[in-house]
Every structure is written in C-alpha cells, then in structure tokens.
Amino acid sequence: MKTTKALLALGVGLSVLLTACSATGTQDSPGTGITVKRDGYGIPHVYADTTRALYSGYGYSVAEDRLFQMEMAKRSSIGTAAEVLGPDYVEIDKTARNSIDPQSIKDQLARLPQTERDIFEGYAEGFNKRIDEVGADPAHLMPKQFLDGDFRPEHWTGYDVAMVWVQTMANRFSQSSSELANLQVLKSLQAKNGDEKGRQLFDQLIWAEEDPGAPTTVPRDESTSPDDGPHAMSQEAGLSDVTQALPDANLTRMKNAGGGEWPHMKPEASNLWMVGADKTADGTSILMNGPQFGWFNPSYVYGVGLHGAGLDVAGNTPYAVPTVLFGTNKTISWGATAGPLDVNDVYQEVLDPSNEHAYRYDGEYRPMEVRNETIEVRGGPDVAYPVYSTVHGRVTSFDTPNGSAYSLKESWAGYEIQSLVAWIDIMKATSWDEFLEQAKKVAITINWYYADNQGNIGYVSPGRLPVRPADQDLRLPAIGDGSMEWEGIRPFEENPQSYNPEQGYLANWNNQSAAGALADGYNWSPVDRVRAITTRLEAKDKFTPGEIWDINRQASFADLNVDYLLPYLAQATEQLPGSDPVAAGVNMLRDWDGQATDDNADGVYDDPQPAIMRTWLPILFDTVIRDDLPEDVYASYSGKVYPAAGTARPAEATKLVYNALRGDESGVPQTTDFFNGADRMSVLRSTFGQAMDRLRTEQGPDPAGWKMPVAANRFDYKNYLGVPQAGSDEVLSLSPYMNRGTQNDRIVLGDGIADLCTVGPPGQSGFIAPDGTRSRHYSDQMDMYRNFQCKTDHLTEQSVDANKSSEVTQN
C-alpha cells in the first residue's frame, strides 16, 4: 500500500493552505473550552465560545461516531479510494476527480476571512485529535473496518471537510444534465421514424413547452418566474450526429450518484410539506422534511446540536457537513429538497480534424486545457490520466467518429464554498429577510424552506440561472463554437419563491418549482407524486403536528400510478355487468385506499391490488407505446414501472399514456397517436383483462389470494458512489418498502413553542470495536423508523442536561 507519498502530499497541501490562512487573519485557539453532552440516542450537543472550538468539538464527535464512514466519504470525494481498496476502485476515483476542480476549491477556501476558515480548520483539528487518540490505542479504539481492511485513517484538512460537502451535496444534486442523452434519444427516434416524425415523438417524450397542469410548489397563480426562455428546437441543425453508446463521464457520475435511466436521470428524491398559522390548530408553523438520499449503514445523515459562537441550533445534516441542513434555532426552522433549476449546459465542441484535443471557438481551433491526474492504487501500478477542459468546462466525453467532444458548463462553478458558507449562515437567521439574504449567495440549485415562530412559511429555489440565447433549446446540447454563449445571470428576484401563500401550505416532492421554471431533464406533468401530499393537505382546514406527521406514513405506501389511470379504466368498464371479471377487478381498485402495506409482516402485500397494478401496467405500456419507440428507448420505460426496490415516483410511461388518454385535452400536444387509431377504452379493457387472466392462471381464481412480494428498504454498506463505508456483513433492511426520507424531521414553532422530532436510521453511531462490539447507538432508531415514530431532540441546555447520557469537556 502506497501511503507514505500520499501522507507527504497531504502534509504539503495542509501547510500551503494553513500558510495562506494565517496571512489574512488571526485564528481562534482550538480545543479549549469545549463541552460535548450526548443525549440518550448518542446525539452530541457541542458547547464552545469560539467558532474554531465549536467546530473542533463537532469534528471530534463525528470521528468518534463515524470515523470509517467519513474516511471513505473523504476518499470518495477527492478520488483516493483505490489507494486503500485496490484496482477495482480506479474508475470510481476517476469519476470523482473528473467532477471537481481541486485548485478552485482551495482558492475559494484561501479567500475566506479567518472567521470562516475557522469552521473548516476547526472541524479538521477536532477530527484529527480523535484520529490521534485512536492511533494511540488501536486495540480498543480503532474501528473494526480499518483492521479488516488493513489500513488506517489519515489526517484531514479544511479542504477535505469542504470537499465532502462539495461532492455529496453540490455535485451530486447540482451537476446534472440530460442534454447529451436527450440528443441520443432524438437521433434514435429519427433513425426509426424519419426526421420529422422522430422529432414529433421526441416532443411527446420530452416536451418543450410547459404543461399547465403540472403541480408547482409556488402556486401557479402566484408565480413570477419568467417564461421567456428558449423552448423551440432551434440548434438541432447545427449539431453533429452522436454515437449512441458514447461513454460520458457526467452521465456515469449521475447514474453512480443515484440517478435513474433516461428520461429521469437526475439524482433527486426528497419531500417536504409545511403549514402556516392559518392552517394549524394553534397558530404555529409545522415543517415536515424527508430528504431522500438513499438508505445506507451508517446513515447518510448525522444528528448534532451546536451551541455557541452565535449558534444555537439542532437537527440533522448529510455526512456531518459543517452546517445543519435540517433543523431549527427555535426562532426559525429550515429544510431542503433537491434543486430543480437548470444551472448547467452541455456544449458540443467541434474537434480539430488533425488534433482531437483542440476545438473550434470564435473562428479558430484552441488547445484544450489539461490537468494531469495520478491515482495511487493499492496492489497495482499508479494510474495516470488527463482531465481536459474547454472554455465551457470539463470535457466529459470524446465522440471522435463524429468529430465532437462534450463539455459541461456550470453557472455555479467557483461559487461552491460561497454556497456552503451561506448554508452555514442561515443557522443564524431569525427572519424571512435574513433567510433570503443567504439564499441570494447560493449558486448551486437547491430548494430551501422556511418557517418561524410567528406562523410564517416560505419557499425559495436558489441558484445562478443563466440568461440563454433565444435560439437555444434547453433539452439539447448547446453549440460550442461561441455562437450560443450565456448572456448573463438572471437576478435573484426571478428565482422561484413564495411567502405565506394564500393556500396556507407549501409542498414539494421534486416537482416543478414555479410556472415557467423549465429544465432539460424533467417532464413536469399532472402525473406527479407530490399530489400524494397535496391532496391530503387540501383535505383539511386545520392540522395538528400528529396529522402532519401521519401524511408521511400515507405517502410512504401510496401507489403512485393508480390515481391517474383508474378514472379512465372505470369509464372503460362502466357498461360491463358487475359479474364480469374485468369489472370486478376494476371495482377492487376503486375500493382500494391505494396503500401498498404489509401490516402482518408476512413478506407479501396485504391486498391483491398491488399485484393487479404491477401485472397490468407492463401489459398496458407494451401495448400502447412499444411499437412507436426504438427498443433501446422503450427499454428505458419498461424497465422501471415498479422497480424492485419499490417505486419512488410514478412510472414515466404513465405520463405518456395519461397524455394519450387525454388526447386534445392533454397539456402536451399529441401529434403521434400512441393508440394507433384504436378505441382507447377498448385498449384499457383488453389490457386489464389480460392482466386479470394472467393472475388467475398464475395465482388461482380467487383475487383475495393474489399476492405480490414486498420490496424492502436496503441499508447498503457501500455509499452512494459504490465505495464501502462499512463491512459487507453490515447490510440491514426493513420491509415493506417505505417511499420516505432517509431521515424525517418535524419542527413545530410558535409563541413559546419549539419542538423538534426526528428519526434517522439505523442510528447515530457506526462504531464497531476491534472485538466486534457495536455501539449501543448503532441501530437504535430502526424500530422507530419502521413504526413511523420519532424521538424528541433537545433544544435547550436545560433539556439537554435533563436527558444527557454523557458529558465530556476538552481542555
């Protein structure tokens, strides 16, 4: 294992960074006056008077609980997993390095005032203090996973602390673009159907114009987002052909980061709903958040309280980053879901025929910039390779047969640390205006939510939105020759935002943010899972905290397809006698509450309706849309009707069939008749009848006996990038599948009222001692999560003291 060279390099990098830091300010003294009090679930509450000391205590606590997970998160983020895990992780390291500009991040950190650098440096110093303690007593303190892997944790720098956030939050959720994949689909459709019909089909699969029936988080009648952006397919004629199986670094990164297959490729899955004073029984605000990062062991999120140096907050945060993303300071509460704004563009670069590392821009061929990377590999030779960039950004693929390369331009590049510091500073905000002041500084795309103790609620979708040329189709790569450059950045006031909407609530499940807010990778549609939340919020005038919490249970088990197709299916069978098997099956769906549950824990869904839906939809889609699409395009629809891990959102094919059933009433023009002139009601009856026949053949004549095995939530031992963050024997599972947050938090604020209730399975600590003994907080939130319960988190020192399980003071 090649560790000496890596340690020396880290030491030099740290020396350079700290030298730059000390040149512009005086740093706090770390490690003094730090007190950490842990509650009954092991949640640390850190108390200190200075920023550096506060974050030192935070970093130390994280290293106590999650040392192996965080070491591997760091390596996943900066691309050094192969150094300790071997050749199988070289490609993962390449993906990480291809998505970052290390020097830019270091420069951004160096430009911070010392008071802000103290956050990153203090965290690293506390983390390193624990590493030193572990190194001094490995027989008792070294996490077992290090011993099993035969390597040791390395010291952190402020850069490492920042990079975990940059990779796991900024890059994972803001670096996406489907434009190249869209171009591949367009060309495939045209190859099968000809240019004109292929283009028409493309418009039905990825519609260019807005569907006015799509639900928005900012109520449509209150939206102020501009709708003057480019929509028509205008640059197609200027684009070269594309290789269908072209390997692309960014598409690979999106898939590895939890994204799906085309057409919904962006990694995102989170929900939030909140009600203000007019919609609560006691005039409070209630915020309920379920960020869906995936399920891992240890958890993607970490619970913490930070008290001192201007902070008095508690909540949960992903990968123990240096801010509480989901929490409260008792005056306001805040939350987040993945951002929907189009802050990236792919550019198709024209290559010099005599040099594929030069591209045409402003009438001349320019050499690409190159950054040489070397990956150290345990048990193998170093791997050296180049990372190329154009004026637009990093090159993600070379399509040499077509004389092209593709590069990714990000409006937020160079603003990553500014965005993180703004997210840190919202913890000090006490009003909507102060909250917005920080949102203005956020360059990445993210959805932010606000509630306060006066019963106010608000939503804003930050991000640097480019002003694009009028002739640019958002769905396709831009032309890279200099003729399709951005013309500026839109003013923040045009970003989607809403404050105390008349409806009394705000809700989001990665749906459209506001009218006019379009992007390349979304098919905003009336078919949207957010309706599983909004229909329940609209069903009552007033809510209690318990009722807001229970929406989570109902949405978690909701079938997300049935509500859109059942009205048409009922219409198709309304003339059939009740004794008809098809009519009887439809009546079963009509009588169903739409909940796919397994209350008796026998491993199959309690009701036959999940089996009916999972049998019918593949038949329906195969009949209606398969013949119109190339096999590779159809496969992207048919393979995820009800995914094995449970359905996170309505099937993309449901949107197509729903639009086709609506015909002229659809918000998307139906230039191609997916039903091929057949009577739509007859097709519904026929396909549903086939499903019923199949179930009778396979499971018997009595529908009450029709069963479908449940899917499960699998808590993986590998992180979202595929790097082990625990032992392979540490996989956990819960069934049936719950379509809900990685963690859930509910925050109630009012006059003299501040209540935070959270659950974040498996548990706070991932520590396993050398002898195999697991921390008592290793999985103590699993049953709570299974049963839709939450624990009270302590918001005052008096409450912390009354419920503490330990207290340690560092001198």
| pLDDT per position as a tens digit, 624-664 | 999 999 999 999 998 878 866 555 889 999 999 999 999 99
Q: Is residue 331 part of a domain?
A: no
The Cα-based distances of 194 to 332, 670, 708, 793 in angstroms read: 56, 18, 42, 61
Q: How confident is the model at residue 21 (pLDDT cuts 50, 70, 90)?
A: very low
Pick from 107, 93, 129, 77: nearest CA to 13: 107
Both 362 and 462 in a single domain?
yes
Both 346 and 243 in a single domain?
yes
Provide the token pair at 594: 């739409």
At residue 419, does pLDDT exceed 80?
yes
Q: Is residue 198 part of a domain?
A: yes
Both 647 and 690 in a single domain?
yes
Q: How confident is the model at residue 268 (pLDDT cuts 50, 70, 90)?
A: confident
Both 524 and 606 in a single domain?
no
Q: How confident is the model at residue 266 (pLDDT cuts 50, 70, 90)?
A: confident
Amino acid type, 761: P
- The span from the CA of 45 to the CA of 34, in Å, is 10
pTM: 0.94
Query: Which residues are annotated as catalytic?
Result: 270
- The span from the CA of 759 to the CA of 43, in Å, is 11
Both 416 and 540 in a single domain?
yes
Give the range among 94-98, 230-234, 575-579 with minimum mean pLDDT: 230-234
Both 351 and 444 in a single domain?
yes
> Beta 404-410 vs 344-352: how paired, if at all?
antiparallel
Chain centre to alpha carbon of residue 178: 16
Domain that holds residue 604: 560-593+597-705
Tell me the average pLDDT across 8-28: 36
> What average pLDDT does the structure give for the chain?
94
Q: Is residue 349 part of a domain?
A: yes
Tell me the average pLDDT across 53-72: 99
- Determine the angle formed by the axes of helices 249-256 and 179-193, rounding to 10 degrees: 110
Peptide bond into 263 cis (omega under 30): yes
Alpha helix (H) residue ranges in 257-389: none
Domain C-terminal end among 555, 581, 608? 555
pLDDT at 7: 33
Pick from 466, 458, 471: nearest CA to 491: 466
Give the range among 96-110, 331-345, 639-653 with minimum mean pLDDT: 639-653
Instruction: Report the alpha-carbon angle 778-784-788, nearest 5.
Output: 145
* Helices vs strands, H then E, count in the chain: 25, 26
pLDDT at 28: 53
Tell me the average pLDDT across 465-492: 96
For residue 345, say whether it is annotated as part of any ligand binding site: yes
Q: Is residue 352 part of a domain?
A: yes
At residue 60, does pLDDT exceed 70?
yes
For residue 93, say whether it is annotated as part of any ligand binding site: no
**Residue 250: which CATH number?**
3.60.20
Q: How confident is the model at residue 14 (pLDDT cuts 50, 70, 90)?
A: very low
Identify the residue whose tokens are 């170093």: 382
Both 565 and 541 in a single domain?
no
pLDDT, tens digit, 9 for 90 and up, residues 275-291: 999 999 999 999 999 99
- The span from the CA of 663 to the CA of 485, in Å, is 38
- The span from the CA of 210 to the CA of 12, in Å, is 52
Q: Which residues make Cβ contacts (< 8 Å) with residue 490, sequence separation at least 6?
A: 226, 465, 466, 467
Q: Which residues make Cβ contacts (< 8 Å) with residue 484, sequence separation at least 6?
A: 235, 347, 468, 469, 471, 472, 478
Q: How confident is the model at residue 264 (pLDDT cuts 50, 70, 90)?
A: confident
Q: Is residue 119 part of a domain?
A: no
Q: How confident is the model at residue 16 (pLDDT cuts 50, 70, 90)?
A: very low
pLDDT at 24: 37
Question: Over pLDDT 70: what percentage of the chain?
Answer: 94
At residue 67, does pLDDT exceed 90?
yes
Domains contained in the chain, number: 2
pLDDT at 8: 31
For residue 236, say whether it is annotated as part of any ligand binding site: no
At residue 227, does pLDDT exceed 90?
no
**Residue 607: which CATH number?**
1.10.1400.10
Tell me the average pLDDT across 145-161: 99
At residue 179, does pLDDT exceed 90?
yes
- DSSP-assigned letters across all residues of 425-448: HGGG--SHHHHHHHHTT--S-EEE
Both 441 and 568 in a single domain?
no
Using DSSP's 3-state secondary structure scheme, residue 334 falls into strand
Provide the token pair at 391: 């004026």
Both 221 and 207 in a single domain?
yes
Both 677 and 633 in a single domain?
yes
The Cα-based distances of 720 to 77, 92, 292 in angstroms read: 11, 11, 12
Tell me the average pLDDT across 349-377: 98
- The span from the CA of 653 to the CA of 673, in Å, is 15
Both 466 and 609 in a single domain?
no
Both 342 and 389 in a single domain?
yes
Provide the token pair at 202: 């493309």
At residue 15, does pLDDT exceed 70?
no
Domain C-terminal end among 657, 679, 705? 705
pLDDT, tens digit, 9 for 90 and up, residues 380-398: 999 999 999 999 999 999 9
At residue 23, does pLDDT exceed 80?
no
Q: Is residue 617 part of a domain?
A: yes
- The span from the CA of 741 to the CA of 761, in Å, is 10
pLDDT, tens digit, 9 for 90 and up, residues 727-776: 999 999 999 999 999 999 999 999 999 999 999 999 999 999 999 999 99
At residue 340, does pLDDT exceed 70?
yes
Give the residue, 27 or 255, on which the prediction is more confident.
Answer: 255
Q: Is residue 370 part of a domain?
A: yes
Alpha helix (H) residue ranges in 627-719: 631-638, 652-662, 680-699
Domain C-terminal end among 653, 684, 705? 705
pLDDT at 259: 84
Q: Is residue 442 part of a domain?
A: yes
At residue 33, does pLDDT exceed 60?
yes
Q: Which residues make Cβ contacts (< 8 Å) with residue 186, sequence separation at least 6?
A: 198, 199, 202, 236, 476
Tell me the average pLDDT across 780-789: 98
